[in-house]
Chain A
Amino acid sequence: MKFKIIFTLICLFSFSIINAQNKHDHDHDHDHSSQHDHTGHDHSKGGHDHSGHNHAKGGHDSDSGHELDCSHAGNHHEGEFDPGATAFHHIADANVYSIGPIQIPLPCILYNKNSGLDFFMSNKFGFHSLGHGDGHYAYKGYVLDGGTVRMIQDANFPKEKTEIKGIIHDHETNEAFVCANGKMWPTYNNSTADFGLFGGGITPFFDFSITKNVMTMLIIFLFSFWLFRKVAKAYKTREGLAPTGVQGFMETMFVFIQDEVCKPFLGDKYMKYQPFLMSLFFFILFLNLFGQIPFFGGSNVTGNLAFTFILALFAFLVTNLSGNKHYWQHVLNMPGVPGWVKIILTPVEVLGLFIKPITLMLRLCANITAGHMVIIIFVSFIFIFSQNGAVPAGGWAAVIPSGLLSFFMMAIELLVAFIQAFVFTILTASYIGAAVEDAHGHEDDHGHELAH
């Protein structure tokens, strides 16, 4: 119980430190003026979205040469629907929490080198509560652009609430420019710890806000705390009686994980690692399932690479810090193989030490993200076939196939939620089991073992 709380708190803290705003802002369609509707929140069969208005992402976005100007910034005009941009927008993190069509502001905790730490609610950006998360005001040198905060590079931009005309994007370089006071102001994205892999990197702007993903993790943390306290109290008060209600339901899953995952892999020492493995399983499971609830924020926490990185980091630390002499000898100096093989084997084993948690991270992130994206694309069929409202008959014709496909895909996603939580836990258990197992029984046959 205690471990669960500490584990979750460490997750939250490190999550917001690593700035898990995995914004996939780059579109792959460079020739459309990219704009997208408020889709993706409508997963009900046969429904249409009920947002306020469609609006372009702003301005001419590098369609002919690299001409960016502020003349069309902030224009709310119809255009071509961009499913790629919509999908990425809806699986990314955001500084507003959207329940259905309503956007709820979240606290922003922003730091930059010039003006230090700022703390304010994101409704200071003046976004329409039924709109799209585009702020109409710049506040303290920050703007809200499609749900994410960007910092204006120039420190001389006025710090009080200033009206901005709009924000335009350069899709080649994934930068945004704020159009205000008749000028174009370049902006910084927030720093991400991905070494530039996903278009991120370290900038002077650090975003420690309570974003949608952090809010979701807090909700799940409180929910699972309440749930497991209830189950534990039920065990105490109903000692010796058969379990009922939620206690019975959780006991099924708990005993399943204990008997299938903890005991076979960890043997006698399973009680030492069981709190960690149980926390891992239930946290990932609840977050996966929460991300599937249609209108409730659509928060994609487990599909966020930084979050799964932290989970894999915990698995890595627990495995390697509890490795005994037998384990390290197997990794660095495998007994029973000739010397010339060891020269090749030891680097491979050391690489394997890192690759195993990396695959844990990528497997969970890719499975959940892929599922979310497929559902968003299926729902976008309605908008693609109706050419974004231009051909309503196409839209009506696409409703039933799109709804059926989305239903089918969401059923698969429920299965995937359980399976991926289970696979993460069972692989972590097997790595920990390999690290803590005793030496009896197999010292002589390492020449016949595979490298890992």
Chain B
Amino acid sequence: MGGSIAAIGMGLAVIGAGIGVGNIGAKAMEAIARQPEAVGDIRSNMILMAALVEGAALIAIIFSYLVK
């Protein structure tokens, strides 16, 4: 039973990551639409922020794997 609860935990962590990265992408699209000449700056910042948010989700995945 412990294994399947850990899998549910991992799934919840990925939901969080999905919502976070989706928000970043949405706001980046809006910003590019408002100011198309800033697309380079916006894109690199978007990727950086996505990496940080994914990092949090992956940390949760590692910790839920530790539950035996």
Contact = CB atoms under 8 A, between A and B. Distances in A.
Do A and B actually bind?
yes
Interface of A: 28, 197-198, 359, 362-363, 365-367, 370, 419-420, 422-423, 426
| Chain A contact surface mostly | helix
A423 B51 contact: yes
B66 A362 contact: no
Given A362-B55, A367-B54, A419-B47, 8 more contacts: A359-B59, A362-B62, A363-B58, A366-B58, A367-B58, A370-B58, A423-B48, A423-B51
Nearest to A363: B55
Contacts of A423: 48, 51-52, 55
Most chain A beta carbons < 10 A, residue from B55, B61, B62, B66 = B55
B3 interface: yes
Contacts of B59: 359, 362-363, 366
Contacts of A198: 66
Contacts, number: 37
B51 A366 contact: no
A416 to B, nearest CB: 8
Nearest to A418: B47
Nearest to B57: A366
Given A28-B3, A363-B59, A367-B58, A420 B66 contact: no
Contacts of A365: 62
Contacts of A362: 55, 58-59, 62
B55 A367 contact: yes
Contacts of B3: 28
Contacts of A197: 66
Nearest to B44: A260
Nearest to A361: B59
Contact of A366 (B48, B52, B62): B62
A365 B66 CA distance: 14
B20 to A, nearest CB: 14
Given A28-B3, A197-B66, A198-B66, A422 B58 contact: no
